[in-house]
Structure 1
Amino acid sequence: MTAPYVLDVRGLRIRLPGTARRVLDGVDLTVAAGETVALVGESGSGKTLTSRSALRLLPPGALAEGTVAVAGDDVLTMSADRVRALRTRTVAMIFQDPRAAINPLRRIGDFLTEGVVLTGAMDAADATARATELLRAVGVEDSVLGKYPGQVSGGMLQRVMIAAALMGDPSLLLADEPTTALDVTTQAEVVALLGRLQQRFGTGLLFVTHDLDLAAALSDRVYVMYAGRIVESGPAKDLFACPRHPYSAALLASTPRLDAPLGRLPAIDGRPPDLRTELTGCSFAPRCPLATEVCDRHEPESRPVPGRPGHQAACHHSDRLDRSAADA
């Protein structure tokens, strides 16, 4: 029986040595085949760790609970051999900084082919042919196979990273802020390229970003993360048009826009909670303008937003946000 999701995260909790609280605390997240899901939030909210859990790339000493099922199999309980096979054939990751992810002393051709050759997935000739095909698909001439990473531009190297991620025909692609180090024009090209390749190969895509406009343009569904918890999720169109969590609303309000009135951008007061501090109640309460005593004492459960299928928010005062949005 085929698994309904290429990625199905349930109740994921991760604690690191020396921390007073969990870095991830009860994360639920799904990605279907051919679907683009955005995971957004401030730096340090747990986005990258969530995505890396699908490859079991966890920090030393990390204690993980829950399940991270890829194509129906729990990555957290797999043997080391199965995890290696998973990383070669089923799941691939595009890292944020391509220059930090590629060995500068190896030629690009070796970087693209050695993984599938060493694992026996392809022989050298087939791997080179596959690399050439994918480079052309991402708009790069196969002449780069003989070059070193330092001999090509950042935008071209990110395209090489995308080609490398597709070498094993993965069913799940993890993109960890892959456009952050690129100029605006190259960002647009890379995003469009990911969309075309996803349609061509039918790959599920988890796109980690702090760029809300990019998430709105690219994704089918969105998860908003704060302090290791999913505080809101739903269809991209609904969530960005009418957020139902104060944190989501604050992120959207602080996004620069050409048609915004002159003056300082709105900012979220305060700072994210320190990992050395225990959390009680709602993690966003100290920074939230709607917070009351119940927020300080009780962690809100994620509940469906009335009249909006698939839209959920973990807030005690979503109804107050509803009224303020309706009045605006």
Structure 2
Amino acid sequence: MAEKTIEIKDLVVEYRTRSGVVQALNGLSLSIEKGKTLGLVGETGAGKTTAGLAVLGLIPSPPGVIVSGEILLNGKDLRALTDKEMDQIRGDAVAMIFQDPMTSLNPVMTVGDQIAEAIKIHEGLNHGDALKKAEEMLEMVGIPRERAKEYPHQFSGGMKQRVVIAIALSCTPGLLIADEPTTALDVTIQAQVLEMMKGLKEKYEMSMLMITHDLGIVAEICDEVSVVYAGRVVEHGTLADVFDNTRHPYTEGLFNSLPNIENQAEKLKPIRGLMPDPTDLPLGCPFYPRCDHAMEICRTKKPPKVYRNETHFVECHLYNEQNIGDKEEKWR
């Protein structure tokens, strides 16, 4: 069996507010093999960022609470660690590229000092040596080392994103969590950043959790895909499993929402309705109110996990034992 860098098992996270309990993650499970990239896909509000923050122990508390579940990094239970022990994990064994590079950087510190900060903490270097390595990291992401003395406002959006990546990679983490790393970038810069990330991942043999709503990015960089809806993985498989043998109605809806390049006259087919209110999730399948294939059982009973093969599963009543008969050919 392949070695797992990260395993998340049945993770439940709530935000307990005065307005009610927000059910952010509802039994989320996923794992990433060493050196592989997993794409975590879903609409805004699905719980993708919460999953990344939970791994790093950065769920804001209050109001956030990890109710139950396991988070294993290289077999070590992160939930059992103290705050001081987690400080040693963050930025070293696991690092995160946060969603918006514009707000991820300190405006009153030079970019060189910001990269050197993590290096000093985790590698015990003095400021001069740490700054030298920071300059090397800048060059590695395509920025001249002389610019280490400059401040974030002197960089473009694409350059800021490269700086954020340099910070995340400064201590060569075994796991990199990338939260929508190209959202604020134009298409040409996005392609450059993705290509750079792929090269650096291979160079350092890292595992990566790519959090995104962009299926094009998933196709470009990921080995496996987990589709998340209402804080739970509803379909998972290899890139070929999910892209070529799509099963869950929600996943089908995501693909149908994309423009057809070959037939530009074809209209988009967006998923009707909105994500369910996380303070009042449906009793059965959370996708039930928006699903064109919904049955009575979907309203009252949560769907089981059904495997198409060893790598591909779906949580949907369309494929349970009672309904698989008339869909057996499609399932294969």
TM class by smaller structure: over 0.9
Equivalent residue runs for 1:144-223 within 5 Å: 144-223=147-226
Q: Sequence identity of aligned pairs in percent? A: 36
Deviation, 1:115, is 2.5
User: Which whole-Å CA distance do the structure 2 matches of 1:133 and 1:300 have between them?
Assistant: 51
> 1:109–1:128: 8 Å Cα contact kept in structure 2?
yes
Q: Secondary structure at the match of 1:317?
A: helix
- Which string of whole-angstrom CA distances, capped at 9 and with x for unpartnered residues, describes residues 223-279 of structure 1? 000011110000011211121100001101111232134143101111111022143
Aligned to 1:4: 3
* Number of aligned residues: 323
Aligned to 1:63: 65
Identify the structure with the greater strand proportion.
2
> 1:92–1:173: 8 Å Cα contact kept in structure 2?
yes
Q: 1:192 to 1:120 in 2, by over 3 A?
A: closer
Give the TM-score, by structure 2 length: 0.92
Q: Secondary structure at the match of 1:269?
A: coil
Whichever residue aligns with residue 53 of structure 1, its letter is: A
Whichever residue aligns with residue 317 of structure 1, its letter is: L
- Which string of whole-angstrom CA distances, capped at 9 and with x for unpartnered residues, describes residues 94-126 of structure 1? 111111000111111111111232456322233
User: Which whole-Å CA distance do the structure 2 matches of 1:324 and 1:120 have between them?
Assistant: 54
User: Which whole-Å CA distance do the structure 2 matches of 1:164 and 1:322 have between them?
Assistant: 49
Q: 1:324 to 1:267 in 2, by over 3 A?
A: farther
Matched, 1:128 2:123: no
Structure 2: 5+ residue stretches without partners: none
Higher mean C-alpha displacement, 271-280 vs 41-50:
271-280
User: Which whole-Å CA distance do the structure 1 matches of 2:116 and 2:78 have between them?
Assistant: 24
Q: Over aligned residue pairs, what C-alpha RMSD do you find?
A: 1.9
Selected match of 1:257 from 253, 256, 260? 260
Matched, 1:32 2:36: no
Equivalent residue runs for 1:41-80 within 5 Å: 41-61=42-62, 62-64=64-66, 65-80=68-83
Matched, 1:310 2:311: yes
Matched, 1:225 2:228: yes
Matched, 1:288 2:291: yes
Give the TM-score, by structure 1 length: 0.94
Whichever residue aligns with residue 30 of structure 2, its letter is: L
Deviation, 1:35, is 0.5
> 1:37–1:222: 8 Å Cα contact kept in structure 2?
yes
> 1:9–1:68: 8 Å Cα contact kept in structure 2?
yes
